[in-house]
Amino acid sequence: MLRGISTFALLSVLGLGACASTGGDAVTPNSETSEAVAFHPFMPGVMPDRVILNLTQDPSTSMAVNWRSDASAPEGFVQYAVATDGPGFNAVRETLTAESELTHIQDEGEPLVVAHYHSATLEGLTPNTQYVYRVGDGSHWSEWFQFTTAGLEGEPFSFIYFGDAQNDLKSMWSRVIREAYKTLPSVNFMLHAGDLINSEDSDIEWGEWFYAGGFLHAQVPSVMTPGNHEYSRQMELSQQWRPGFNLPKNGPEGVENLSETVYYVDYQDMRLISLDADMSGDFESSARIQAQWLDQVLRENDKRWTAIFLHYPFYSTRAGRHHENLHTFFKPIIDRYGVDIVLQGHDHGYSRGMVANVPDGEMIRDERTGTMYVVSVSGPKMYPVEDLAWADRKANGLQLFQVLTVDGDTLSYQAYTASGRLYDAFDIQKSDTGPNQLINRIPEDAEEIWEPDYDQPSSYRRP
């Protein structure tokens, strides 16, 4: 099984990276003839592209890497070494042979894309150490990238959380991921809560997603969970997912359709858990399997902090959009083990609130104890947001990214707009003798925006 990474590769070098059809981000079928285009600007070439780092179960001693090349490069290699202040690392580099997979993917209205995906896991690494690496076929190599392994328990770390990117990836999501990196250039990893793209198999859209992040995907490790737009109407996972990423395979044993969608990562003081909300939301049998696995993963958890991320929200930004299977199968487990925070997407708006850990799973706001639930969106597609009882803070019409920092007994959270303005903030303080304490740090000048005027998208009605 293979994976993927990002840059604009040979097509960008040749100046073809901007060859999208006029009036939009992506090349589309001719509306008069309904014929598929024969070319799009993100086709694979001999140079590696879509290079991406993914976290492993233990990112202090290992790192997963993935990339793509055209059909002429059946083999892939990773060369890596401990980073040096000059070019000396090149003399002591190691070479690792990747697993390679030939794929044939064609989305409706797009050309057939034949590509090799390559995946490798660098193991035996030293914690809190900077490494350099490059990928290629032995003749055609990427540039040298750098990454740093996770540190030890007790050391602070930060990550960026994105809700749905999904639409206008090249033109409008790009500034969000780039502003996020500008805000926190020392970020340890990035987290995506599903709906990275809009059409699950569209190579153009996946190309735009990688383009938007550019070299960041190759230097800052990522984890992601699938959304409903990573699934077809027949509930088949995108053909781009498992070849394109290299995610942990420690989910429910023997359940192939949950591989690399249900998993966990132990990052220093936090156990970070991905649940496949779409499979659990549509199939009770999958929800039961995931719930049994989740109970075991939390029961055996020895980390100070616990976070769950999934696409569908437990508590929606609008009435009537809650997912019953999540409450039936997962909420009692979350309550039993006192999960600290749940990061979600899907609703294309922003809401967050701390909900009491009570057996009936009702929406009881509780600032003294409970689990913090967050719904957010990073792309430009927006839905209405309602003033629901569970939410302490909400917004609509805002593209957002969130920075979370874990430092000892404090988890600090900040939500920024696409222009870099701080919109929301809070701390969760952990105690050995009592429940978590919520400390709100909402900026005084950040007036709550929660009812957009859709007739005039640039203006907002404020309560």
120 and 259 in a single domain? The answer is: no
164 and 55 in a single domain? The answer is: no
287 and 180 in a single domain? The answer is: yes
131 and 258 in a single domain? The answer is: no
271 and 335 in a single domain? The answer is: yes
pLDDT band at 459 (very low <50, low <70, confident <90, very high): very low
User: In terms of residue numbers, what domain contains 275?
Assistant: 157-187+248-461
Count of domains observed in the chain:
2
89 and 178 in a single domain? The answer is: no
Residue 2 within any structural domain of the chain: no
φ, ψ of residue 256 in degrees (nearest 5):
-65, -35
pLDDT of residue 369: 63
Residue 363 pLDDT > 80, yes or no?
no
382 and 404 in a single domain? The answer is: yes
Q: Which of 131, 148, 165 is the last residue of a domain?
A: 148
The CATH number of the domain where 400 resides is what? Answer: 3.60.21.10
| Segment 150-173, tens digit of pLDDT | 999 999 999 999 999 999 999 999
Q: Which of 100, 130, 148 is the last residue of a domain?
A: 148
The CATH number of the domain where 125 resides is what? Answer: 2.60.40.380
Average pLDDT, the chain: 88
Residue 71 within any structural domain of the chain: yes
Residue 54 within any structural domain of the chain: yes
CA dihedral 208, 210, 212, 217 (to 10 degrees): 170
> 327: left (phi > 0), else alpha (psi -120 to 50), else beta?
alpha
What does the alpha-carbon distance between residue 130 and residue 139 come to, in Å, rounded to a whole number? 25
Residue the block writes with tokens 């609130």: 353
370 and 429 in a single domain? The answer is: yes
Residue 62 within any structural domain of the chain: yes
pLDDT band at 359 (very low <50, low <70, confident <90, very high): low
322 and 444 in a single domain? The answer is: yes
63 contact partners, CB below 8 Å, separation of at least 6: 53, 55, 56, 121, 122, 125, 131, 147, 149, 221
Q: Which of 118, 148, 178 is the last residue of a domain?
A: 148
144 and 168 in a single domain? The answer is: no
